Amino acid sequence: MAKLQKFKKREVSMLLTAVLLGFLIALQARSFEDVSDVINRNNRSDVFREIQILKDTNDQLRDEIDDLEDQLVKVSNNQDALESVREEIDQYEALTGRIDISGPGVHVQLAGDIQAIWLTDTVNELLSAGAEAVSVNSIRLTNKTTGFDTIPSGQIMLNSVILNEPYTIEAIGEREVLEEALIQPEGIIERLQRIVSDVEVIVEQRDSVTMEKVL
């Protein structure tokens, strides 16, 4: 009887031990789950933080790119403005005869009983068509040119120089445009040929026309 009681006590003890071990294992497993949840939450938090960092970085980069694009536009605008100013300076120096100039253009030769007004109209037509520089009988016209004068003998004078036939007018610019301005229907050449009898007119495009600066 004593042995039976002792055996039962041992079984109860083992049962309690098993229950306690089971409880401890379950508790440990739950702890692992809690730790895993924490780790997962931390990992998700890290991911969100990294995403936010990347977003902020991208926003900064986008702002920097926008600033650089704005600066590029300003630089381009400044460069365009500088080039425009330089072109205006070049045109002014060309028109005032301060520099030698050469380029494509037209060569016009007029012969006959031509009055000064026809030379004036021809020059004005070329300038209106965009000529960068014009010369008459190798005399370059500038902002100081006073114009054509007719002396009592009927001869034409330019800058105190008497012009002799044939009158040679040269202009530098877009040669097709300059030629078209002269020979267009009802243009200066057609009117000249209709009004002035026996006038001789030659209009040629030239690859290169050169004019020296006016001293």
pLDDT in tens, 132-141: 999 999 999 9
3-class DSSP state of 196: coil
Contact (Cβ atoms closer than 8 angstroms) between residue 168 and residue 107? yes
pLDDT above 90 coverage of the chain, percent: 47
Position 17 scores a pLDDT of 54
Q: pLDDT tens across 72-90, in order?
A: 777 777 677 667 666 767 6
pTM: 0.61
Q: What percent of the chain has pLDDT over 70?
A: 64
- Intervals of the chain under pLDDT 50: 2-8, 12, 19-20, 23-24, 27-45, 47-48, 51
In order, the DSSP letters of 92-103 are HHHHTT-S-EEE
Domains of the chain with CATH codes: 102-211 (3.30.70.1880)
